[in-house]
Structure 1
Amino acid sequence: MSKQTTALKKVLKPVHLWALAVGLVISGEYFGWNYGWGVAGTLGFLIATLLVTVLYITFIFSFTELTTAIPHAGGPFAYAYKAYGPLGGLIAGYATLIEFVFAPPAIAFALGSYVHFLNDSIPVMYTAVGCYVVFTLINLLGIKESAVFNLIVTILAVIELLIFLGIVAPHFETGNFMRNNMPYGVAGIFAALPFAVWFYLGIEGVAMVAEEVTEPRRNIPKGYILGIATLVILALGVMIFSGGIGDWQALSRIDYPLPESISMVLGKTNSWTKIFAGIGLFGLIASFHGLIIGYSRQIFALSRSGFLPTALSVVNKKFRTPHWALIAGGIVGLISLYSGTTDKVIIISALGAVVMYCTSMMSLLKMKKQLHDAATFKTPLYPWFPIIALALSFVCLIAIIWYNFYLSLIFFTGLAIALMIFVALGKHKQPVEDELLEAVEETIL
């Protein structure tokens, strides 16, 4: 296949990367995390969130070195492929696909719930399916157009969260937050870890647009660091203040906790409650849109390296977007909409994420000397940051498996089937392809 049909367009700058880093994740501040209260209580979930925050800070500072050294659309797949060969690449690629393909259905459910909150005559699934169609079409128009759209909705989403904090903070009461704060003890902390991961899940998707970034070795670190700083502040602020305004248990099993929180403060009939729910859609849209970019680039990269059918790496001649990868990911997402509930989809996505975090940190530890000359960003406090990130990722992995055995069984059964097919086709014996290195060199030039 010619390079022209598999080459992406380099147009992204630091502000686009910040918007993508925050936009990919910001829906995690709008919904999903509150399920952690249901299994851990407010204090238990706060402890889980602080542990996961440490995980992500150490992970992002380590992951940035990999991304600047190997600015490849495959992201984690490319790092594990280079470090551990085809089998390593397959495991990382599978985990990343699960994370990015299964996160959008959860957000689509939430979008449907928010719209239903505004107008109960509109079914949740109508909105969810419609979002897949509309935003797949938007992504087909080109990465620059998609990035500008993402920047606008991300800025609006951040502003809205700041307004939310301004409204609820004066009504925060420590007594409300501490009431029945750890009903399940220490065990609840571990059960809540996947919902804490949801606060930050997806930020690593910036790596998947690395081939579309101008001066990637200089601009990628700026986007990542500003992104994680923004998300830590918003995540902790939203979670803590929401837990202290009233009965937090009433918020622990719904897909629209922020509008409900506003209604506790202002009343359900207050016009600001409806307005907030309406503009709250921006945060969900930003993440939904960003994750579509992420999974399409991962499918594109896996296809280009021979891990998926080659047709999925064809780039549209006019818009320079991987149109078949976008469509394929959308079809899988639509199928999953009808096969699970929000909390289960979040757990599956978080499971893929922590497996990918483990493979990425192992890749960095193995390739550190090789990356020395290629990476312009160096991991601070090496090797402690990647070791801490790896250890906490492993703890999260064990906790998710322990408390969600059947969902984990589905995940690892899928991985086992993928490995068997891979080995049966003899692809595990192929050497690390020059194509991967050539793609990286073309991106840097």
Structure 2
Amino acid sequence: MSEERRKVGTVAYREASPAYFAKRALKRHAAFWSLWSLGVAAVISGDFYGWNLGLGVGGFGGLLIATVVIAIMYYGLVFSIAEMSPALPHTGGAYSFARSAFGPWGGFITGLAENMEYVITPAVVVGAMGFLMQAIVQALFNVQGDPWWNTPYVWFIVSYIVFVGINIRGIVATMRFTVAINAIALGILAIFFLSVIFSGKLNLSLLTNIPPTSGNSWFLPFGLAGIFPAIPFAIWFYLAIEELPLAAEESHDPKRDIPRAAIWGLTTLVITGALIFLLNPAIGGGSKDLGNSATPLFDGFKAVFGSGTGAALLALIGLVGLIASFFTIIYAYGRNTYSLSRAGYFPHFLSVTHPTLKTPHIALIAGGVVGLVLACLLTYLGTQKNLVAGQVVGALLYMAVFGAVVSYAMQCASFIFLRRRLPNIERPYRSPVGVWGAGIAGVIAIISLISLYLNETYRPGVVGTLVYFLIGIAYFAIVGRHRLVLSPEEEFALTQGHHGDPEREGYGKTKVTDIPADGGAVPAKPAGAPTGGSV
């Protein structure tokens, strides 16, 4: 790293040599089916657990209304991302969009929020995996009590070691595993849907079997007020589909494949989410019992097949859905951390990639350690307060949703500003819902953020996440803003889209000395001009 520096507003850029980017090289591999699988697999666990806790706070009707509104938000968001991602084809994703729209501070706030989402979400998923594995082992092997080797904590550790390890093995192994496990997870859901429909046990009256509070109906047992605390659980049906832009620098044709994969991925999830929402509470104990369960799909299988070994084996197979999301969101936090580190917002060492595998192994391990500690801490605190497993998972879920909705609001705002600020950049795909669609999605995201504070049970976790968020901003104010690097995301923003496309021109096209002293846009270089970067 050269000591050549240039101050731009409240931040400062340092020159990066070609060796800097060589140590942070990625490998291109993903195509449409890999990207579609990545998007669906990242979210598919939302059909396996988590969503059902919305029944306990909003009833069937409250969660239904919340889910419809959230589906509208996600279509507005995904159409906006589908336009921005091929126009700004960087691993930074949401950070890249906000950086070009709002400058370094907006980019960092958005990137940090998305980082929190992707680091916390695997902790949510592994929480459900740990409790489910404990229950499966107890059922299959008649294990009594809680021996140390069959506690959720042990399963948390094993899960992180195995699936972070596969992610480190390389993009080829990651995408092949993603395609396979996504197909199996969808197959498990299909088996569940068909088994419920043809079991003879389907009872739609169970959907509304939660006794209403005074003055309310069976459809809305907690009244209209129940809709708002149900919103975070409705988000769980779709959370993380927006991670696809993070694969831009590892895709063969990101400008063509990422928009298609994102839109078709969301549509796939809307269909599977609607089916699980309708069928899972329509058997067994209905919405009343499902509203506090940490393993709703397992409970559904037991309601169809009984509580014996067969149901436990089916639940073990159903664990695939949780693994799919756990594995693919590990990929997401690795790339998000990598991009923020490569640009200097996070410590630079986090973006170094493996010399032969070309994966951000340090970022993957660091995020795994944070997620593991968080899952263990929340589980421990939950046992101290005698919370049931579902409530522990719910607390983690609320924390993940906090980071998600902040990044959603910022991405929607970025779309609107980029339409106005950079109207002439190449846009291979244009959102059919345009500025209005992004605006509506952004408003719903802000309402969702407010709704997080309406549930007193999970409010402490959300407040803790806010404190962490503010600490991250303080780090950037004190340290990070003085150590920025002209990564592709920064190049694109400073040159207003003339440079910063790594697929077309590689890395380091712009030098720090090219940045005007007044912080204005870097003038475009003619084709064939020397590439920047100090030796």
* TM-score over 0.5 (shorter chain): yes
The count of aligned residue pairs is 444
| Aligned equivalent of 1:39 | 57
Q: Find the residue that maps to 2:23 and give its secondary structure.
A: helix
The runs of 5 or more residues in structure 2 that have no matched partner are 1-18, 144-149, 211-218, 379-391, 493-498, 506-535
Matched, 1:375 2:427: yes
- The answer to whether the 8 A contact 2:280-2:300 is kept is yes
Aligned equivalent of 2:467, options 413, 417, 438? 413
Q: CA deviation at 1:419?
A: 2.2
| Aligned equivalent of 1:128 | 156
- The answer to whether the 8 A contact 1:83-1:366 is kept is yes
| Aligned equivalent of 1:292 | 330
Aligned equivalent of 1:162, options 180, 184, 190? 190
Larger gyration radius, structure 1 or structure 2: 2
1:389-413 CA deviation, whole Å, 9 max, x = no partner? 1111111111113335433322222
Q: CA deviation at 1:64?
A: 1.0
> What pairs with 1:183-332 in structure 2 (closer than 5 Å)?
183-247=221-285, 248-269=287-308, 271=310, 273-332=311-370
How many angstroms apart in 1 are the aligned matches of 2:504 and 2:267? 27
Aligned equivalent of 1:441, options 485, 501, 509? 501
1:208-247 CA deviation, whole Å, 9 max, x = no partner? 1111011110111121122111100001100111122232
Q: Find the residue that maps to 1:338 and give its secondary structure.
A: helix
1:73-108 CA deviation, whole Å, 9 max, x = no partner? 111111111111111011111110110000101111
Overall identity of the aligned pairs, in %? 33
**Letter aligned with residue 250 of structure 1:** D
| Aligned equivalent of 1:177 | 207
> What pairs with 1:58-207 in structure 2 (closer than 5 Å)?
58-120=76-138, 121=143, 122-170=150-198, 171-180=201-210, 181-207=219-245
- The answer to whether the 8 A contact 1:28-1:199 is kept is yes
Classify 1:67/1:304 alpha carbon distance in 2 versus 1 (closer, same or farther; 3 Å): same
| Aligned equivalent of 1:344 | 395
Q: CA deviation at 1:28?
A: 0.6
Classify 1:109/1:407 alpha carbon distance in 2 versus 1 (closer, same or farther; 3 Å): closer
Q: CA deviation at 1:119?
A: 1.0
Q: Which moved more, 1:320-329 or 1:395-404?
A: 395-404
1:28-80 CA deviation, whole Å, 9 max, x = no partner? 10011111111111121111111111111121111111111111111111111
Classify 1:137/1:73 alpha carbon distance in 2 versus 1 (closer, same or farther; 3 Å): same
- The answer to whether the 8 A contact 1:86-1:430 is kept is no
- The answer to whether the 8 A contact 1:263-1:270 is kept is no
Q: Find the residue that maps to 1:339 and give its secondary structure.
A: helix
Q: Which moved more, 1:219-228 or 1:400-409?
A: 400-409
Q: Find the residue that maps to 1:243 and give its secondary structure.
A: helix
**Letter aligned with residue 395 of structure 1:** I
Q: Which moved more, 1:238-247 or 1:306-315?
A: 238-247
| Aligned equivalent of 2:14 | none
Aligned equivalent of 1:54, options 58, 61, 72? 72
- The answer to whether the 8 A contact 2:415-2:435 is kept is no
| Aligned equivalent of 1:8 | 26
How many angstroms apart in 2 are the aligned matches of 1:320 and 1:432? 20
Classify 1:376/1:107 alpha carbon distance in 2 versus 1 (closer, same or farther; 3 Å): same
Classify 1:133/1:275 alpha carbon distance in 2 versus 1 (closer, same or farther; 3 Å): same
Q: Which structure shows the higher helix fraction?
A: 1
Q: CA deviation at 1:440?
A: 4.0
Q: Give RMSD over aligned pairs.
A: 1.9
Classify 1:44/1:324 alpha carbon distance in 2 versus 1 (closer, same or farther; 3 Å): same
- TM-score norm. by structure 1 comes to 0.95
How many angstroms apart in 2 are the aligned matches of 1:371 and 1:306? 28
Q: CA deviation at 1:425?
A: 3.5
How many angstroms apart in 2 are the aligned matches of 1:343 and 1:360? 25
| Aligned equivalent of 1:396 | 448
- The answer to whether the 8 A contact 1:73-1:298 is kept is yes
The runs of 5 or more residues in structure 1 that have no matched partner are none
- The answer to whether the 8 A contact 2:408-2:445 is kept is yes
- The answer to whether the 8 A contact 1:108-1:129 is kept is no
Q: CA deviation at 1:434?
A: 6.5
How many angstroms apart in 1 are the aligned matches of 2:25 and 2:483? 27
Q: Find the residue that maps to 1:102 and give its secondary structure.
A: helix
**Letter aligned with residue 89 of structure 2:** P
Task: Give 4+ residue runs of structure 1 displaced > 4 Å after superposition.
Answer: 428-435
How many angstroms apart in 2 are the aligned matches of 1:444 and 1:19? 26
